Chain A
Amino acid sequence: DGGITQSPKYLFRKEGQNVTLSCEQNLNHDAMYWYRQDPGQGLRLIYYSQIVNDFQKGDIAEGYSVSREKKESFPLTVTSAQKNPTAFYLCASSVLSRVFGNTIYFGEGSWLTVV
């Protein structure tokens, strides 16, 4: 089935550790995104990538890093520099439509908790 797969679903991190969240899509979408969601809040953009080997910072990129070595993969690393990493992380991808702009489709999300 086509879709966006995130793993792991739940992840616990000790303070000072880096962790990487995986995101894979088989929709052949060019663009991929990482959003962060805090309880009772909307989504905030961390990083996005339009093409392989290129990515741009979103609104809250500090303490995060990404790579885009393959079209289908866009992993997110939460570094120890991120002071408040406990949140729900959503990966997304999009196709570009001249009529409808970029319709973004989301994965199932990953819960990250700092212990």
Chain B
Amino acid sequence: AQKVTQAQTEISVVEKEDVTLDCVYETRDTTYYLFWYKQPPSGELVFLIRRNSFDEQNEISGRYSWNFQKSTSSFNFTITASQVVDSAVYFCALSGSTQGGSEKLVFGKGTKLTVNP
């Protein structure tokens, strides 16, 4: 079975602080895909990043960076110099091998990030 654990339920930081959101996953698939989504107060889930299991390169996009480590089954997300607009709920998600069709996403329970001015 596939499982995603986001142990941090809520995090509160002051603007300009760096913050890391943790994500640990479980899967028996040899090929799988990891995702991060942002859910602002408006409700819509915004896609941030995807990573496949055979690409362990870390990625940086502006103030966002992602650290994927298969050895620890983790896919952590860091926001550098956080801003108030980063306040949202962040979800980590996992999907298994694609076998000629769609595979459903398994979501963690999310981490609510509050950035205070």
Q: Is the CB of A100 within 8 A of B109?
A: no
Q: Is the CB of B109 within 8 A of A42?
A: yes
Bound-state CA distance A105–B108 (Å) is 17
State how many residues of chain B have any CB contact under 8 Å with chain A. Answer: 27
The binding surface of chain A is classed by DSSP as: strand
Residues facing B in A74-115 (CB within 8 A) are 88, 90, 92, 94, 96, 98-109, 111
Q: Is the CB of A107 within 8 A of B44?
A: yes
What 0/1 readout, one digit per residue, does chain B (25-47) give for beta carbons within 8 Å of chain A? Answer: 00000001101010000111111
Residues facing A in B38-63 (CB within 8 A) are 42-47, 50, 52
Q: Is B105 located at the chain interface by the 8 A CB criterion? A: yes
Q: How large is the interface on A (under 10, 10 to 19, 20 to 34, 35 or more residues)?
A: 20 to 34
Q: Is the CB of B104 within 8 A of A108?
A: no
